[in-house]
Structure 1
Amino acid sequence: MQKPSAPQTRLVTEGLAFGESPRWHDGRLWLCNWGTGEIVAVDAGGNSEIVLTVPAVLPYSIDWLPDGRLLVISGRGGLLLRQEADGALVTHADLRNLSKSPWNEIVVDGRGNVYVNGGGPVPAPGQHFGPGTVVLITPDGAVRQVAENIAFANGMAITPDNRTLIIAESHANRLTAFDIAADGTLSNRRVWADLDGFPDGICLDAEGAVWYADVPNKHCVRVREGGEVLQTVTIDRGCFACMLGGADRKTLFIVAAEWRGFEHMVSEARTGQVLSVEAPAPGVGWP
């Protein structure tokens, strides 16, 4: 039986295009403002700052190397970019020879392995996305594909022990898990949870549950492995991603916007918001 909804959400900031790839970093929530090329950081009081503008409109995603340098995947450009100490963006890895389709999400584990999903075969006529892949960029710079046939690869999260990667397969209505080997290779693909929805961005908590955002159903859902629904937070627009943050990492931040279809993702509309709600367990793992 579905548990009661979470407490009332709080509006943190608004006026965004499409917030995506939220990350809690250095005491602020960082996000990609799709459609603008902006990377925005928002503090607990709702004060926002454009910290960087990147040569990408959408999709693009962010995370950090263990040494603190920012990584940005420029989805359509096929380049993984790294910000140096002087602010300059340089190429960390070139993924253009691996795919002609856009890349989507990035996560860096505690050992410095970088996982990027998306890409894959060119979509069929009339389709926005073909079967997706996952590629691994190791700390020595080597690049290799480690998974394929992902049904619209979306959010990813890695457990605190660096041993399990969970990925949202939006078009298959499920969360899928892989074991991570010592060299970063993925194996033992399995269904982590079948869902009554379309998972987008995800994050992990200390009780082993996953929060996932769902655009068409306009909610974020907390689920246990196996699919049991523990909590649902419903709002008035599409939920694109969520991230646990705050001083104790027990605040669930939700990035949401009105959804008008893929053809209208780049527009003058600024319906994007960041909302927050208290969560029952703190965030763990990566991102």
Structure 2
Amino acid sequence: MKLEPLLDGLSFGEGPRWRDDRLYFSDFYVHQVRTVDETGKAETIVEVPGRPSGLGWRPDGTMLIVSMTDRRLMRFANGKLAVEAELGALATGLCNDMVVDAKGRAYVGNFGFDRHAGEKPRAAVLARVDPDGSVHAAADELMFPNGTVITPDGRTMIIGETFAKRLTAFDIAPDGTLSNRRVWAETPTCNPDGICLDAEGGIWVTGAFTHQMVRVLEGGTVTHALDLGERAAYACMLGGKDRRTLFVITNSGSGPAIADKQDGRIETMRVDVPGAGLP
């Protein structure tokens, strides 16, 4: 198993999402949402001044974009970028990753604290933005909520807690509320960053601060481990026409100091089990 480069020269990639035969992603230190197809052809879709991160779509095709530094959820439709919701009342750190469910509800995580200013880690609140623009606290006491997936039946959310080295699951009620919090899997070798779900219930987990990426099953069994050498993986997505192409965003490091290096890449690998669920 080996990753092959598809696109390089990124500042720091985040939020990969497969849609319309292209991979959408944020390149956040250059404030761009971009796409790349399977041939490596890239295009800039929109510039987001507040630094884009998590991406998703409502059922009507409206694109939602997390704006990190001003702690907002933006919408992009008909070529116009506008504020969808203010998240500052709940977000105690920079806003980050997101998943949008089949009903158009957006679940947005945040850092919880200012890691780069040397603040001590503290738990964060996961925000839920409903299609009417209202903002709700969906879950609390999450240690750096990050990559998030929703199972194909729409009933379970699994979220990576980067600073707790675990994947945490919730039941999703019809109105979007979360309950029955439980540990889905511990990931002792991996601080979960971006994640993606496959059709056999396995989750590919990228590992911030490590040079390893794993595929893990509920309960913690690791079926695959990928050594990235001197690089680290920060986000992933199963896409391609058969959803069997694993797209992985890698870099030589993270944080503001990495911005000028332009050392980010999107790399790919073919896998046996296709993607499933959301995103």
What TM-score does the superposition give when structure 2 sets the normalisation length? 0.94
Say whether 1:190 aligns with 2:182. Answer: yes
Partner of 2:238: 244
RMSD after superposition? 1.8
Partner of 2:152: 160
Q: Give, as a single letter, the amino acid of the residue that structure 2 aligns with 1:150.
A: L
Structure 2 CA distance for partners of 1:48 and 1:132, relative to 1, 3 Å: same
Instruction: Using the TM superposition, give the Cα deviation of residue 69 of structure 1 relative to its aligned residue in structure 2, in angstroms.
Output: 1.2
Counterpart CA distance in 2 for 1:128 and 1:81 is 29
**Paired residue secondary structure (1:35):** helix
Matched, 1:62 2:55: yes
Q: Which letter maps to 1:223? A: V
Match for residue 96 of structure 1?
A: 88
In the TM superposition, what is the alpha-carbon distance from 1:103 to its structure 2 partner? 1.2
Deviation, structure 1 residue 119: 5.8
Q: What is the alpha-carbon distance in structure 2 between the residues aligned to residue 76 and residue 129 of structure 1?
A: 18
Q: Is the Cα–Cα contact under 8 Å of residues 120 and 148 in structure 1 kept in the other structure? A: no
Cα distance change on mapping 1:246 and 1:33 into 2, 3 Å: same
Higher deviation after alignment, 96-105 or 275-284: 96-105
Unpaired runs of at least 5, structure 1: 1-6
Q: Is residue 194 of structure 2 the alignment partner of residue 201 of structure 1?
A: yes
1:232 aligns with 2:225: yes
**What CA distance in whole angstroms lies between the structure 1 residues aligned with 2:143 and 2:42?**
34
User: Contact 2:211–2:227 (CA<8 Å) still a contact in 1?
Assistant: yes
How has the CA–CA distance of structure 1 residues 130 and 75 changed in structure 2, closer, same or farther, with 3 Å as cutoff?
farther
| Contact 2:91/2:124 (<8 A) preserved | no
Q: Percent identity?
A: 40
Amino acid paired to 1:264: A
Q: 1:122 to 1:36 in 2, by over 3 A?
A: closer
CA contact (8 A) 2:113 2:120 kept: no
Q: Letter of the aligned partner of 1:41 in structure 2?
A: T
Q: Which residue of 2 aligns with 1:176?
A: 168
Distance 1:30 1:248, change over 3 A: same
Larger displacement relative to structure 2 (87-96 or 42-51): 87-96
Pair 1:123–1:276, CA change in 2 (3 A):
closer
Shift of 1:63: 1.0
- Aligned residue pairs total 277
Q: Select 2:247's aligned residue among 244, 250, 253.
A: 253
Runs of 4+ in 1 over 3 A off after TM superposition: 119-125
User: In 2 relative to 1, CA 145–119 (structure 1 residues): closer, same or farther, beyond 3 Å?
Assistant: farther
Q: Deviations over 1:205-253 (max 9, x none)?
A: 0001110101322232111000100112222301001100001001100
TM-score (norm 1): 0.91
* Contact 1:200/1:214 (<8 A) preserved: yes
* Change in 2 beyond 3 A, CA 1:46/1:129: farther
5+ residue gaps, structure 2, are none
Any conservation in 2 of the 1:98–1:119 contact (CA below 8 Å)? Answer: no
**CA distance in 1: counterparts of 2:41 and 2:101, whole angstroms:** 29
**Deviations, residues 164-185 of structure 1 (Å, cap 9, x unaligned):** 1111001111000000011100
Q: Does the Cα contact within 8 Å between 2:8 and 2:265 map onto a contact in 1? A: yes
Cα distance change, pair 49–121 in 1 and its aligned pair in 2 (3 A): closer
User: After the TM superposition, which of the residue ranges 68-77 and 241-250 deviates more from structure 2?
Assistant: 68-77
